[in-house]
Amino acid sequence: MADALLLVFSNPVPGREDEFTDWYEHRHLGDVLAVPGVTAARFYENAQTPPSKAEDASESLPAGHSHLAAYELDRDVDDVLAEFGRRVRSGEMPMSEAMDRETMTMTAWRPRGPRLEKGAEADQGI
């Protein structure tokens, strides 16, 4: 079980969507998984308004972001983020120019209470 989730909401630079998704899926997720404390990674596309159907995806999506990356962490969030920063600065984790850094947001979340699963309510005292 993850000690924390790191959620990164992002958008591609307009006109560079393919470059952005290729970098995220084939380079960046692997770079992030190489960081001690990151146990899992998954990249998502906003399901409410597919970017291919919107002229400017960042303006048409309810949350203002077309993509989300979710990272599961098993170490202190501050330590993991410090290592991210070190790797970006050293060039070990290159960032893509196809990502719109002005609209990117990153937040870390810790679980509050137990994980609940459908069908297991009786075992969980619900």
pLDDT the model gives residue 93: 97
Q: pTM for the complete prediction?
A: 0.81
Average pLDDT across the chain, whole number: 88
Are the C-beta atoms of 64 and 103 separated by less than 8 Å? yes
* 108 half-sphere exposure, CB direction, 13 A CA radius: 15
pLDDT the model gives residue 61: 45
Say which CATH class 4-109 falls into: alpha beta
Could you state, in order of their start, the residue ranges of all structural domains in the chain? Answer: 4-109
* Residue 47 in this model has a pLDDT that exceeds 60: yes
The Cα 94–Cα 82 span in angstroms is: 15
* Residue 56 in this model has a pLDDT that exceeds 70: no
pLDDT the model gives residue 4: 96
Phi–psi pair at 78, nearest 5 degrees? -60, -40
* Residue 37 in this model has a pLDDT that exceeds 90: yes
Cβ-Cβ contacts under 8 Å for 104 (sequence gap 6 or more): 8, 9, 10, 11
Segment 86-112 mean pLDDT = 96
Element (H, E) at 39: strand 38-45
